[in-house]
Amino acid sequence: MLIGIDIGGTFTDLVIYDTKTAQFEGIKVPTTPQDPKKAVIGALGKRKDLATQTELIFHATTIATNALLTRKGLPRIALLTTEGFRDVLEIGRQRRAEIYNLYNSRPEPLVKRAMRFTVNERIGASGDEIEKLDKTEVESFSKKIKQKDVESVAISFINSYRNAEHEIQAEQVLRKTFYGHISISSRVNPEYREYERTSTTVVNASLSPIVSHYLEQLKDELKNAGYNSPLYVMNSGGGLDTVRFASEYPVSIIESGPAAGVLASRYLANTLSLGRVITFDMGGTTAKAGTVIDGNPDVAYEFEAAGKTHSGRSIKGSGYAVRHPFIDLAEASAGGGTIAWVDEGGILRVGPQSAGSEPGPAAYGRGGELATITDAHILLGHINPEYLLAGSMKVYRDLASQAVTELSSKLGMGVNDTAEGILKLINNSMAKILSIVSVERGRDPRDFTMLAFGGAGPLHACDMADDLHISYLVIPQHPGLFSAYGLLTGDMVRVFSSPVMTTNLDVGKEFESLKDKAIEDLKTDGLKPSKLMELMEMRYIGQSYEIVLPYEPGKDLRKEFDLKHKELYGYSSTDQLEIINLRVHAVVKVDKVSIPRFQAEEGTARPDHYRNASFDGVFEEIPVYVREKLHPGDHGKGPSIIEEYDSTTKVNRNWSFRLDEYGNIRMKKEVSS
């Protein structure tokens, strides 16, 4: 058995895959925000026979993101840096998050100025030692932080990416008397640009005590429940890694949760031979959009953790700079639990606040009194008005009605019109993030197939596709559990980088050295890479941004770079090229799922029952299908509703659907005659 565990803002999802029969089982339980492990153990407890049969457990967690967003439980940390560089974190870059906001304030540094200490040492830009490290100052620093109950230390010396000797010496001195967590920049992020490197190291130091404690506790809880299987954690770039590595480098798992859904999309796109896919993931609290082109998701190497977003775009300078590979997604505060409200001007608004899992939407009957997206869908008949999760979770239509009625009275609108308005507003918000990953990146969305998932994604998929003129949709099996399923489709991937800053395009020897380092590092976990992928960060000399390209000996790198630059920015140049960083992605193969294929027999799908529901603002009797009763080859048309354990699919007018041989719902926009 393989188990995937994904903890979301509203629900915790568990996917169980039987490696002998290739059968899936999904379990969905409300998330327990105060103690996320409780929901995990509760979900596992629904299958008492699992423990002895489980081979591997894979986990995606938002523990790191939540810690930075809320700043709750962050440890007391200290920074040790080179004399003269104490304020690098606050000086940062010449970016203002919102240039027209007169009251804009930058995020509070994770390490206060009083806890930032300097020592005399200096490494030159070429890596030469200019001034030796004063170890007595490091010893003095160690005594000071001991008195201040520091739990974690970040060490970031100027130019240590060129020569890490001083950072290593400082760490060795500290280890003699300090027993907390130590993060050194030459290991966490051995690349140039001292602000980003220092910021990444400080974020790592802040998260180390929290993430390591959480993962160790989760391992203990699993062991107490009889699970002795290895536990792997999803990283931000869509690869898996060990608990040891994730605990030591928690900066690598900040975007753990969103990565799993894109990983599942890549696996399914490859299975279905879909070359260009837009992913649309709408859960309980957020909606995320990304792309997978020819099997490759968009990957970036720098982002701002816990930063603000505006219309789906990350606002530069509003968060904590982090350099680590992550799957590049656009995100909106839009989910089933997103709250609708009326502002002081009497205008209907939706989000960004969410009801989460506690208390949740009003219809859940857990004390929530504010109208949400889920409540609007229930009122309009799109969602089963009696229960969710195959009857295991009761919903209350009257409570949803009360919440929306309160809004409608403030607006002077009808209750159903208010519910329709709520959905139109949230659709407009989500259409923007889909546009960001397609139109704004020079891609025509009409050339793409949309893959929609998450508990709420299939409800809005047709609306989103109509907005972007996308004609084809895929709703995977178990869409509400798809991100947890994605955990079972990935390999272990660990990324290593090395700065070179050279105009010599022949970097074969440097790559060999970096690959040797990757192999040695994996040995510490008893692992051996099955593949080593070589990548380069390149630019035209004088530029301040880089483009990542694969390194293939014998290929015309100049031609490849010019083509990529023209694709991204509309032009190429004759300026000389410069390679800034080399990267090696070390891949270790992990047992994966395989999607069973069935014989499709064409036939008209039979509705299970009919329900009075609103499509295009008009209530009518709509056929409702139960997905578990449909067979490959069954087909039908909209307007219709397809219900299943973990999600509901809304098929709009002028759309048709068919179950393919893998059990996916394939939808097509019908051309109006």
Q: Are 60 and 5 in contact (CB under 8 A)?
A: yes
- pLDDT digit string, tens, across residues 578-596: 999 999 999 999 988 888 8
Q: Are 261 and 268 in contact (CB under 8 A)?
A: no
Q: Are 606 and 659 in contact (CB under 8 A)?
A: no
Q: Are 81 and 157 in contact (CB under 8 A)?
A: yes
Of 211, 246, 274, the position where a domain reaches its end is: 211
Of 364, 388, 422, the position where a domain reaches its end is: 422
Whether 673 has a pLDDT exceeding 60, the answer reads no
94-103, 510-519, 529-538, 541-550: segment of lowest average pLDDT: 94-103
Q: How many angstroms separate the first and last alpha carbons of the chain?
A: 50
Q: At 362, is the pLDDT very low, low, confident or very high (cuts 50, 70, 90)?
A: very high
Segment 149-154 shows an average pLDDT of 96
Tokens of 597: 């294929």
Instruction: Please give the full DSSP string across 283-325, using - where no structure is assigned.
Output: -SS-EEEEEEETTEE-EES-EEET--EETTEE-TTSSEEE-S-
Whether 672 has a pLDDT exceeding 80, the answer reads no
pLDDT of residue 595: 86
pLDDT of residue 8: 85
Which strand ranges, in their side-by-side order, compose the sheet holding 531-540? 23-30, 11-18, 2-7, 56-60, 231-234, 240-242, 492-502, 577-588, 531-540, 547-550
- pLDDT digit string, tens, across residues 224-248: 999 999 999 999 999 999 999 999 9
| CATH code for the domain of 33 | 3.30.420.40
Question: pTM for the complete prediction?
Answer: 0.91
Closest among 127, 57, 121, 114 to 590, alpha carbons compared: 57
Same domain, 110 and 205: yes
3-state secondary structure of 613: strand
pLDDT of residue 392: 84
> What percentage of residues in the chain have a pLDDT greater than 90?
80
Task: Compute the distance between CA of residue 431 and CA of residue 438 in angstroms, rounded to an integer.
Answer: 11
Segment 407-415 shows an average pLDDT of 95
pLDDT of residue 636: 97
Q: 167: domain range?
A: 73-211
Same domain, 64 and 99: no
Whether 257 has a pLDDT exceeding 60, the answer reads yes
Q: At 120, is the pLDDT very low, low, confident or very high (cuts 50, 70, 90)?
A: very high
- H/E run at residue 268: helix 256-271
Task: Compute the distance between CA of residue 120 and CA of residue 140 in angstroms, rounded to an integer.
Answer: 12
Segment 300-324 shows an average pLDDT of 79
Same domain, 82 and 207: yes
585: phi then psi, degrees, rounded to nearest 5: -100, 110
- pLDDT digit string, tens, across residues 61-115: 988 988 898 888 899 999 999 999 999 999 888 766 667 777 777 788 999 999 9
Tokens of 357: 């899992």
pLDDT of residue 307: 74
Q: Is the peptide bond before 359 cis (omega within 30 degrees of 0)?
A: yes
Segment 119-132 shows an average pLDDT of 96
Task: Compute the distance between CA of residue 426 and CA of residue 428 in angstroms, rounded to an integer.
Answer: 5
Same domain, 51 and 85: no
In this predicted model, which residue has the larger pLDDT, 5 or 62?
Answer: 5
Domain count, the chain: 4
Residues 6+ apart with CB under 8 A from 347: none
pLDDT of residue 252: 96
Q: Is 152 left (phi over 0), alpha (psi -120 to 50) or beta?
A: beta
Same domain, 90 and 179: yes
Q: Is the peptide bond before 352 cis (omega within 30 degrees of 0)?
A: yes
Closest among 12, 120, 121, 107 to 68, alpha carbons compared: 107
State whether the Cα torsion 622-626-627-632 is positive or negative. negative
Q: Which residue matches tokens 């982002």?
A: 303
pLDDT of residue 312: 61
Q: At 21, is the pLDDT very low, low, confident or very high (cuts 50, 70, 90)?
A: confident
Segment 257-267 shows an average pLDDT of 92
Whether 328 has a pLDDT exceeding 60, the answer reads yes
Segment 128-155 shows an average pLDDT of 96
- pLDDT digit string, tens, across residues 155-195: 999 999 999 999 999 999 999 999 999 999 999 999 999 99
| CATH code for the domain of 89 | 3.40.1360
3-state secondary structure 194-212: HHHHHHHHHHHHHHHHHHH
Same domain, 38 and 124: no
Q: How far is CA 117 from CA 32, 86, 450, 498, 510, in A?
A: 39, 7, 51, 27, 35
Same domain, 390 and 506: no
Same domain, 62 and 88: no
Same domain, 372 and 245: no
Same domain, 92 and 146: yes
pLDDT of residue 22: 87
pLDDT of residue 311: 61
| CATH code for the domain of 538 | 3.30.1490
pLDDT of residue 339: 96
Same domain, 181 and 252: no
Task: Compute the distance between CA of residue 459 and CA of residue 665 in angstroms, rounded to an integer.
Answer: 13
Task: Compute the distance between CA of residue 425 and CA of residue 376 in angstroms, rounded to an integer.
Answer: 12
In a domain, residue 315? The reply is no
Task: Compute the distance between CA of residue 654 and CA of residue 40 in angstroms, rounded to an integer.
Answer: 41
Task: Compute the distance between CA of residue 419 and CA of residue 397 in angstroms, rounded to an integer.
Answer: 13
Of 561, 588, 615, the position where a domain reaches its end is: 588
Tokens of 135: 């170890």
E strands, 509-570, in order: 531-540, 547-550
Segment 6-13 shows an average pLDDT of 88
Same domain, 96 and 58: no
In a domain, residue 429? The reply is no
Whether 28 has a pLDDT exceeding 80, the answer reads yes
In a domain, residue 568? The reply is yes
pLDDT of residue 671: 78
E strands, 476-593, in order: 492-502, 531-540, 547-550, 577-588
- pLDDT digit string, tens, across residues 448-482: 999 999 999 999 999 999 999 999 999 999 999 99
Tokens of 384: 């089963």
Average pLDDT, the chain: 93
